[in-house]
Structure 1
């Protein structure tokens, strides 16, 4: 039995709490479930006022944000490529993904994709805080997932030794799954 039951919430920083709540409600149908504001950080007791908002991301998943008005402007780690840090949300089907893409683009949001990852298809875009978001629709078959499960540890071990991409699952990008 695992110590961890589930992710309670994942927290990111935002520029404006109200703008963030409104944007996620409008574009991703996420509802505000909780707001907490303090003048002092409970864990460190630092005097640093903040607004902490919590959004319903479905199925008990919670996405949270902090607005920190006294802190320097938001930035990102310049040593980490922008495409790596993102939040991925699952949608129910490729059709829902296509509808979301049209809806986002109609609202003036730049969307990358639909990208075919073989076991899922996805689109990428940014929220008003600059966070990269992904919507993904699963498309894999039980055989694909079984094949990936069989090689996962061999891939991790090879990567650990060589720091080069193992080819155990190259079929995913070569579209040669049989």
Structure 2
């Protein structure tokens, strides 16, 4: 099936935050993002509903934007209690393992608890939380072209098997083999 348009990239991804200024400062100071834009309205443009908000945008590099909404008149932020904390996360790419390890040191020096590096076969990553409780991941690719090609080859097989059995297919067990 084809569609009559093409996507260029993700324009932005938006999440909720507790405090827009604290969030912008945290992402600047801890991840080096640039705060670029802010919108604030009393009514939501798409729905017309009264719901005052501050909408901030941060440049993650490479044309990638993450945005946050502070919604002071809404109930406190919560999490889906049926989804484990490790599932919903935002992953950012760094250039290599040296950058990943430097990021870990920097974050820990800021008093942030960091898990990892975790080996995922074709990339390594670290995990931590922002001040809003959003889980973040920094990852660096370490795979070979052959490994990525093999993963592309087995992806449909794995998805079909999962869809039928709801049990983990073993086509890519090599990803988590000990280093």
How far the C-alpha of 1:150 sits from its partner, in A, is: 1.1
The count of corresponding residues between Structure 1 and Structure 2 is 176
Distance 2:153 2:48 in 1: 48
Distance 2:77 2:144 in 1: 41
User: What is aligned with 2:90?
Assistant: 87
User: What is aligned with 1:167?
Assistant: 170
For residues 117-165 of structure 1, the C-alpha deviation after alignment (integer angstroms, 9 at most, x for no partner) is: 1100000000000000000010001111111111010001001111110
Q: TM-score, normalised by structure 1?
A: 0.96
Distance 2:165 2:65 in 1: 37
User: What is aligned with 1:101?
Assistant: 104
Residues 25-174 of structure 1: pairs in structure 2 closer than 5 A: 25-174=28-177
How far the C-alpha of 1:174 sits from its partner, in A, is: 2.2
Distance 1:31 1:72 in 2: 29
User: What is aligned with 2:18?
Assistant: 15
How far the C-alpha of 1:175 sits from its partner, in A, is: 4.5
For residues 38-63 of structure 1, the C-alpha deviation after alignment (integer angstroms, 9 at most, x for no partner) is: 00011111111000000001111100
Distance 2:125 2:177 in 1: 18
Deviating runs (4+, > 6 A) in structure 1? none
Q: TM-score, normalised by structure 2?
A: 0.96
SS in 2 for 1:57: strand
SS in 1 for 2:155: helix
